[in-house]
Copies of this chain bind each other. A is one copy, B any other.
Amino acid sequence: MNSESDPDAAAAFATHDHSACMGETLVRAEAEAARRGARLTPVRRRTLEILLESHRAMGAYEMLDRLAAEGFGNQPPVAYRALEFLVENGLAHRVRRLNAFAACMHPGEVHAPVFLICRACDSVAEAPGAPVRAALDEAAAALGFTIERANIEALGLCPACAGKDAP
């Protein structure tokens, strides 16, 4: 199963050319928004950019600070609405364990977001989770349950921190 056809995911914890991956993802996100007829307004677009630039999960209030500093509104709904829009349109994900949001690294692709959260360094990786989702769908189907959205989040140690932590 490590033969994932997704290089980005494999490099999630590794260093990479972030400005490039950010630009590409933003382009794909814009295409996806257009495809869905979703209006990527200035606040929304900037919110997505900030998520992509930071390349980590970010709380709504931290996002609000960033937006307010750039001249947008400075009240909670400004951030929450933009973030909600992004989530609704598959351009970002909500990481409930962290009360935070992260840009989707695979906008437009069918994928199951699986978040791996390092408890030591707080890094968050969006791992490919198609098999996980398949197993989840199966478990739900066995009970007659229809899944519309799923949150799959794991807490543990990333490769770097696992090395330091347990010798």
Interface stretch of the complex, out of A18-26, A63-71, A75-83, A135-143: A135-143
Q: Does A155 contact B (CB under 8 A)?
A: yes
Interface of A is mostly: mixed
Q: How many copies, total?
A: 2
**Within A127-167, which residues are at the interface with B (CB < 8 Å)?**
127-129, 131-132, 134-136, 138-159, 162
Q: Does A51 contact B (CB under 8 A)?
A: no
Apart from the given pairs A1-B138, A131-B139, A145-B154, 14 other A-B contacts in the complex at a CB distance below 8 Å: A96-B153, A114-B136, A114-B139, A116-B140, A131-B135, A132-B136, A136-B154, A140-B156, A143-B159, A144-B158, A146-B156, A149-B154, A149-B156, A150-B154
